[in-house]
Amino acid sequence: MDSLDRILKTLCFKEPEMVPVLPVLLLQGAKELKLSIREYFSKHENIIEGQTLLVQKYGHDGVYGFPHVVEDVEAFGGELMYFESGPPSVGKMAWRSWSDLDKIKMPSFSSSPTMMRTLKTIEGLASRFKGQKLIVGAAIAPFSLPSMLIGTEPWFELLWEDELIREPILNKVLNITKNLCVSWCNAQIQAGADVVVLADGIASATCIMRNQFEKYALPVIKDTIHAIEGTVVYEPVGHIEPFVDLLPQIGSGLVILEHKDNIKKCKEALYGKMSVMGNLNNIEILRWDKEIALQKCLALLNQVAPGGGFILSTQGPEIPWGTSDEVIHAIVESVKIWQKTRSANG
Amino acid sequence: MDSELLYSKFYQSLKEERYLDAKGIIYQAHQQGMPAGHILVKLVNRALDQMQKSIQSQAVQTVDFSSESKKYFECLVAADRNGAKQLIDEALKNQIVPSDIMHKIITPAMDDIGRLQSKEEISLSQIYLASKTTEEILEKLISLMPSKPQGIGKVLLGSAFGDYHSMGRKLVGASLRFYGFDVIDLGMSVPNEKFVEYALKENINIIFVSALLLHTAEHLKGLKQLLIEKKLHHVKLVAGGAPFNFDKELYRRLGCDATAPHGIAAVQIAKDLLGK
């Protein structure tokens, strides 16, 4: 059974011969190619090669066509800042105030060199891995993108604003971000992505109240996923357990959980409707050794692997630059060890 | 015995409910030739007036503000900015002094917000609004006070170098200011050298550094080394931000003295480090 079959089987709540494992390795290709992170991301050929080397080295089940989770701001004229030992971050905000909304035209991913490069990366990866490994694309979800365009504080302020002021701005903003998100996800799927991950960093109990999630985030997530012509993985990038009962409505088959979410309870609540992925702690991972990594993974597998509906991974957004090779190897190896033990125990 | 001394003894006897002694003092005054009218006005009436004032003042001091504080807390949790402001305006109209509003209405409510935050039972957007609303109200209250409350210590605050996220830092700054610290906020992406420069210039004992991203948090290691190089061993380094909340041991690995998961914790750490 190859990686893709394994993933499809678990998403259908059946146990594959081995639990799929997807360590989110976005930066590590630069190490393999001995390039700086900035240089690595500057050419799609680098990322294709880097992802190929990584999958050959570790043997995990997917490849990542997107370089990092902040590229979407470029479509709005936002700027990225690069670092030596971590992913890029948003530099200059694209919008200075809500009045800028009157001036902007509907943004397009084709105006961003980074996003166009991502499409070429996905095409390249598809030509190498289509049908064998899961080819993963990504986008920032429409509800969270505004915080990266104008800042989290003005976005929160708007959510608490009087209805008469809030509604026209909110509708306009979400309409713009939704349109970009849908067209951007569809372009990635057309380029060859099997799934797109919708990263929704503001839509979790960490950031907003349940009634805000229901009123503002949920409707736009549903509309967006409905309009995307492919499979969507939902990643709230925060504590989503308090809203887990609402998740089946969004129309996605898989949610990435963070380490604070009780993955067993979430899986039970979603079983048959949505699968779960996660939820190793991607900061603590820096001080793990092989043994600890293995122990953490096996504990997680014991809790949630039986019955399918589970992919082993870290919480979002990615495995840090400083994570050791032996730890990444241990994460991937853990599914084999768990399966062997399970088979031996009948 | 002069009349002032007689009065003082008389008042003290009443206050301590030693009524026989009080009666004895009246008798003594009469024996000394004090006219009955003088005894009534200069001893009895005066003492009764003072007793009444004392009782009134004690009543004001023990007024229970817990209901107002609860309402203020509820406004903050519901993000009802206008409700919170109206409640404080109402308290001012009812002649409650600004320092009582601060210490007996707002502080317990903010303590409760801090408790919710420790248990992760309140969202970031609620904390943001609660903090912003309270800061605006405090500005108004302080302007109404006869003298600005004295700061309990000076601390330095900034986002780690390369980190352009500011909300967490501002929330910590607001909490520290609210609980009486003088805060020098150096803003976003602060080079380590600038932290050290200000620590020297402003004679700072605690530096709070906020980082949302792991790779910017790692600059704290360099900051600690720089503090040691400059012989600023006494300056304590406190880290805060998402990576430190995800890994409770990260601050130690980077050489920090403590980590503050939120603003209220930052206040306690600052108090402990300054021995307040």
CATH code at B171? 3.40.50.280
Residue B79 has pLDDT above 70, yes or no: yes
Give the best residue of A283, A284, A288 to mutate against chain B (max B CB count within 10 A): A283
- A152: nearest CA partner in chain B: B167
For residue B39, the enclosing domain spans 3-58
Looking at the structure, do residues B262 and B184 belong to the same domain, yes or no?
Answer: yes
Mean pLDDT, residues B93-116 taken together: 88
Query: Could you report how far apart the first and last alpha carbons of chain B are, in Å?
Result: 48
Structurally, how many domains does chain B consist of? 3
Q: How far apart are CA B204 and CA B198, in angstroms?
A: 8
Chain A stretch 34-73, residues whose beta carbon is closer than 8 A to a beta carbon of chain B: none
pLDDT in the model for residue A220: 97
- A258: nearest CA partner in chain B: B246
- B79: nearest CA partner in chain A: A160
Cβ–Cβ below 8 Å for A81 and B243: no
Distance in Å, alpha carbon of B121 to nearest chain A alpha carbon: 9
- For residue A258, the 8-state DSSP code is P
- Taking each continuous run of H as one helix and of E as one strand, the counts in chain B are 16, 5
Tokens at A172, concatenated: 């306009």
- For residue B218, the 8-state DSSP code is T
Cβ–Cβ below 8 Å for A284 and B246: yes
Angle, vertex CA A73, rays to CA A209 and CA B129, nearest 5: 30
A86 in B contact zone (CB under 8 Å): yes
For residue B138, the domain's CATH number is 1.10.1240.10
Q: How far apart are CA B87 and CA B71, in angstroms?
A: 8
> How distant, in Å, are the alpha carbons of A105, A285, B22 from that of A282?
38, 5, 77
Tell me which chain A residues have a C-beta less than 8 angstroms from the C-beta of B162.
81, 83, 89
DSSP assignment of B43-108 equals IIIHHHHHHHHHHHHHHHHT---HHHHHHHHHHHHTT-HHHHHHHHHHHHHTT--HHHIIIIIIHH
Task: With CA atoms as reference, report the closest residue to A173 among A117, A95, A230.
Answer: A95
Cβ–Cβ below 8 Å for A160 and B79: yes
* pLDDT band at residue B59 using 50, 70 and 90 as cut-offs: low
A302 in B contact zone (CB under 8 Å): no
Tell me which chain A residues have a C-beta less than 8 angstroms from the C-beta of B247.
281, 283-284, 286-287
pLDDT in the model for residue A25: 96
> Do residues A217 and A200 touch, judged by C-beta distance below 8 A?
yes
- Show the 3-state SS of A124-166: HHHHHHCCCCEEEEEEECCCCHHHHHCCHHHHHHHHCCCHHHH
pLDDT in the model for residue B222: 95
DSSP assignment of A195-231 equals EEEEE-TTSSTTTS-HHHIIIIIHHHHHHHHHHSSSE
Which of A89, A209, A284 is facing B247, going by the closest CB pair?
A284
A203 in B contact zone (CB under 8 Å): no
* pLDDT band at residue B36 using 50, 70 and 90 as cut-offs: confident
All residues at 6 or more sequence positions from A345 whose CB lies less than 8 Å from its CB, including other chains: none
Distance in Å, alpha carbon of B163 to nearest chain A alpha carbon: 8
> Do residues A196 and A228 touch, judged by C-beta distance below 8 A?
yes
Give the best residue of A92, A156, A212, A216 to mutate against chain B (max B CB count within 10 A): A156
Select the more confidently predicted residue: A335 or B37. Answer: A335
pLDDT in the model for residue A16: 95
The CATH class for the domain spanning A37-281 reads alpha beta
Looking at the structure, do residues B257 and B169 belong to the same domain, yes or no?
Answer: yes
Tell me which chain B residues have a C-beta less than 8 angstroms from the C-beta of A81.
162, 164
- B119: nearest CA partner in chain A: A206
- B161: nearest CA partner in chain A: A83
Question: What length does chain B have?
Answer: 276
Q: Using CA of residue A89, residue B213, residue A59, residue A190, what is the dihedral sign?
A: negative
Which of B79, B123, B167 is facing A206, going by the closest CB pair?
B123
Q: Which phi and psi (to 5°) does residue B108 adopt?
A: -60, -35
* pLDDT band at residue B103 using 50, 70 and 90 as cut-offs: confident
Looking at the structure, do residues B162 and B268 belong to the same domain, yes or no?
Answer: yes
Tell me which chain A residues have a C-beta less than 8 angstroms from the C-beta of B219.
none
pLDDT in the model for residue A107: 87
- B132: nearest CA partner in chain A: A157
Q: How far apart are CA A256 and CA A243, in angstroms?
A: 13
User: How confident is the model over B149-171, as pLDDT tens digits?
Assistant: 667 889 999 999 988 888 889 88
What mean pLDDT value characterizes chain B? 87
- A82: nearest CA partner in chain B: B162
Q: Using CA of residue A201, residue A205, residue A206, residue A211, what is the dihedral sign?
A: positive
Mean pLDDT, residues B99-121 taken together: 87
A262 in B contact zone (CB under 8 Å): no
* pLDDT band at residue B50 using 50, 70 and 90 as cut-offs: confident
pLDDT in the model for residue B57: 66
Task: With CA atoms as reference, report the closest residue to A280 among A234, A249, A318.
Answer: A318
User: What's the complex ipTM?
Assistant: 0.88
Which residues are B237's β-sheet partners? B207
Cβ–Cβ below 8 Å for B247 and A160: no
Cβ–Cβ below 8 Å for A209 and B124: no
A79 in B contact zone (CB under 8 Å): no
Tell me which chain A residues have a C-beta less than 8 angstroms from the C-beta of B129.
156, 160
Distance in Å, alpha carbon of A15 to nearest chain B alpha carbon: 31
Q: Which amino acid is at A343?
A: S
Looking at the structure, do residues B183 and B203 belong to the same domain, yes or no?
Answer: yes
Looking at the structure, do residues B136 and B247 belong to the same domain, yes or no?
Answer: no
Distance in Å, alpha carbon of A156 to nearest chain B alpha carbon: 6
Q: How far apart are CA A278 and CA A273, in angstroms?
A: 17
> How distant, in Å, are the alpha carbons of A89, A191, A240, B155 from that of A74?
11, 19, 28, 37
A with B: how many residue pairs have Cβ under 8 Å apart?
A: 75
Give the best residue of B163, B244, B246, B248 to mutate against chain A (max A CB count within 10 A): B246
Select the more confidently predicted residue: B50 or A59. Answer: A59
Distance in Å, alpha carbon of B213 to nearest chain A alpha carbon: 8
Tokens at B182, concatenated: 């003088």
- B246: nearest CA partner in chain A: A283
Mean pLDDT in each 10-residue stretch from start to end of chain A (346 residues)? 92 96 96 95 96 97 93 88 85 86 85 94 97 96 95 92 92 95 97 97 93 96 97 95 96 95 97 96 94 97 96 92 96 96 82
B206: left (phi over 0), alpha (psi -120 to 50) or beta: beta
pLDDT in the model for residue B61: 56
pLDDT in the model for residue B60: 54
Select the more confidently predicted residue: B51 or B187. Answer: B187
User: How confident is the model over B216-238, as pLDDT tens digits?
Assistant: 999 999 999 999 999 999 999 99
Rounded to the nearest angstrom, the gap between the alpha carbon of residue B198 and the centroid of all alpha carbons in its chain is 25
Query: Could you report how far apart the first and last alpha carbons of chain A are, in Å?
Result: 21
Environment class of residue B50 by beta-carbon count within 10 Å: exposed (0-12), middle (13-18) or buried (19+)? middle
